[in-house]
Amino acid sequence: MPLGGVLFLTIFIALFGTLLIFLARAMGGDQTRNQTGVKFDPYECGIPGQEKKDTKVSVKFYLTAILFILFDIEIIFMYPWAITFRDFIEAGAGTAVGLSMLIFLLIFIFGLFWEIKSKALEWD
């Protein structure tokens, strides 16, 4: 019985999504006319673009973003642990859970010191 419901929802979503795409295409009008070069330019508030298309973005931007996401995910893992840690203590598993979180934190602290030592956070 539950498999039938899943199949029904899958088919319904696929058909409904396809219907919406065709309706949007039909109501959007003809996309082949009015395709001038100005239409494909980025909108810059009336100011011509100053940047060349072959401009390279520094890897430092990507590295900083990846490091931010990494440490942000660490906080996301720590928050539910901190909320439920009292329940683990009451259940008698506080030492094991606390030790596992300590190992988790030590790995991330080691990673932070490694990033500082390798100068990954410097913008020279």
Condensed to tens digits (0 to 9), the pLDDT of residues 100-117 reads 999 988 988 898 888 888
User: According to the model, what pLDDT value does residue 24 have?
Assistant: 87
Q: What is the dihedral of CA 14, 20, 22, 23, to 10 degrees?
A: 160
Q: Please tell me the distance from the alpha carbon of residue 15 to that of residue 4, in angstroms, as a whole number.
A: 16
Indicate the burial class of 123 (C-beta count within 10 angstroms; 0-12, 13-18, 19 or more): exposed
Tens digit of each residue's pLDDT (9 = 90 or more) over 47-95:
666 666 666 777 778 888 888 888 888 888 888 888 999 999 999 998 9
* pLDDT for the residue numbered 14: 96
**14 against 124, higher pLDDT:** 14
More confident residue, 42 or 119: 119
Q: What's the pLDDT band for 42 if we cut at 50, 70, 90?
A: low
Burial of 112 from C-beta contacts in 10 A (0-12 / 13-18 / 19+): middle
Average pLDDT of the residues in 12-40 = 80
Counting every residue written for the chain, the total comes to 124
pLDDT in the model for residue 33:
62
pLDDT given at position 56: 74
